[in-house]
């Protein structure tokens, strides 16, 4: 397993003592090189205690078969 790519979009600042919730979803899975590499794309939404958006995280994980 390899870390392929990662990005962050911040909507507001988080301070010490804030409670945040992370909800991750796999948004896509595809392969390349005739199935030798599988790409798993994930998105994570971060919200504060009131449900307001704090950040959006995206990452790609590459799995070699």
DSSP state of 16: T
Give the range of the structural domain holding residue 14, as residue numbers without chain letter: 2-64
Q: How many domains does the chain have?
A: 1
3-state SS string over 24-47?
Answer: EEEEEEEEECCCCEEEEEEEEEEE
Q: What is the CATH number of the domain that holds 36?
A: 3.10.129.10
pLDDT tens digits, 10-47: 999 999 999 999 999 999 999 999 989 999 999 999 99
pTM: 0.83
Residues 6 or more apart whose Cβ sits within 8 Å of residue 41: 26, 27, 28, 29, 58, 59, 60
Q: Assess contact for 43 and 29: CB atoms under 8 A.
A: no
């Amino acid at each position: 397993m390899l870390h392929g790519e990662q990005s962050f979009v911040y909507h507001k600042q988080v301070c010490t003592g804030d409670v945040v919730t992370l909800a991750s979803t796999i948004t896509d899975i595809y392969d390349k090189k005739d199935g030798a590499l599988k790409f798993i794309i994930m998105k994570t939404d971060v919200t504060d205690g009131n449900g307001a958006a704090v950040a959006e995280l995206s990452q790609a994980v590459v799995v070699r078969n």
